[in-house]
């Protein structure tokens, strides 16, 4: 007769614990980034902040790069939730042009914040396919709401392209363009595409 499999007899409480621990670690890591910046976040500092052993942090994330990848994923998920069900104008409830302009500004700031995390995750040129398809779908939906005619898939891609970090970096890093100018530029671009200038 086979032995009973203890892990399968009562898995729920353990999994719930694991989820709670993970959530607590992510909150501590997010708070740490806000306080000391991405560069200041070490596995030691996170263990200390979350009140767990360093071994726990390493078991959970594997490495500092793994932690950065988890933070990136967590932040992207929270942002998508805000777009889908958060307060307007980013979330539902505002007129579609307002939502679209709020989306552009919010995504631009998110991409700039994520740039450091992406680099720290050891993946400098990375572009998340899931994130791209979510943003494309959302912009396409709003263009439809605005009764724009044409190849909405292409127009959505074209509106998202200048928000990409690879494009933003050249505009921001030489210290040439303040964020306000980029936000205003994108709004103007969008109004032209939508035909509401």
User: What does the block give as tokens for 33?
Assistant: 């980034």
Which helix H or strand E contains 194, and what residues bound it? helix 179-194
Which stretch in 72-80, 90-98, 105-113, 186-194 sits in contact with its own copies by CB under 8 A?
186-194
- 3-11, 68-76, 139-147, 161-169 -> range binding its own copies (CB under 8 A): 161-169
Cβ distance to its own copies smaller for residue 49 or 114: 114
Q: What SS3 state is found at 147?
A: coil
Integer CA distances (angstroms), 76 to 63, 69, 118, 134, in order = 20, 11, 12, 10
Q: Binding to its own copies by residue 184, rule CB under 8 A?
A: yes
Does position 182 interact with its own copies (CB under 8 A)? The reply is: yes
The DSSP secondary structure of 55-84, one letter per residue, reads HHHHHHHSSHHHHHHHHHHHHHHHHHHHHH
- Partner residues linked to 92 by β-bridges: 94
Cα gap 116→129, rounded to integer Å: 18
The residue length of the chain stands at 197
Encoded one letter per residue, x for contact with its own copies by CB under 8 A and - for no contact, window 4-43 reads ----------------------------------------
Residues 96-115 within binding reach of its own copies (CB under 8 A)? none
24 vs 184 by CB, closer to its own copies: 184
Binder of its own copies out of 44, 170, 178, 196 (CB under 8 A)? 170
| Residues found near its own copies in the complex (CB under 8 A) | 124-125, 127, 129, 132, 150-151, 154-155, 157-158, 161-162, 164, 166-167, 170-171, 177, 181-182, 184-186, 188-189, 192-193, 195, 197
């Amino acid at each position: 007769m086979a032995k009973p499999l203890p892990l399968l007899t009562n898995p729920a409480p353990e999994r719930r614990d694991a989820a709670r621990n993970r959530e607590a670690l992510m909150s501590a890591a997010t708070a740490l980034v806000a306080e000391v910046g991405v560069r200041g976040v070490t596995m030691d500092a996170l263990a200390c902040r979350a009140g767990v052993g360093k071994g726990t942090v390493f078991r959970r994330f594997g490495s500092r790069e793994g932690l950065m990848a988890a933070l990136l994923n967590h932040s992207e998920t929270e942002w998508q939730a805000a777009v889908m069900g958060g307060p307007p104008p980013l979330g539902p409830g505002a007129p579609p042009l307002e939502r679209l302009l709020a989306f552009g500004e919010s995504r631009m700031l998110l991409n700039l914040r994520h740039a450091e995390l992406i680099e720290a995750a050891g993946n400098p040129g990375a572009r998340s396919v899931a994130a791209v398809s979510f943003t494309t779908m959302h912009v396409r939906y709003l263009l439809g709401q605005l009764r724009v005619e044409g190849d909405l898939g292409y127009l959505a891609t074209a509106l998202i392209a200048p928000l990409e970090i690879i494009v933003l970096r050249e505009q921001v890093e030489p210290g040439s363009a303040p964020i306000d100018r980029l936000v205003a530029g994108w709004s103007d671009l969008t109004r032209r595409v939508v035909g509401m200038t």
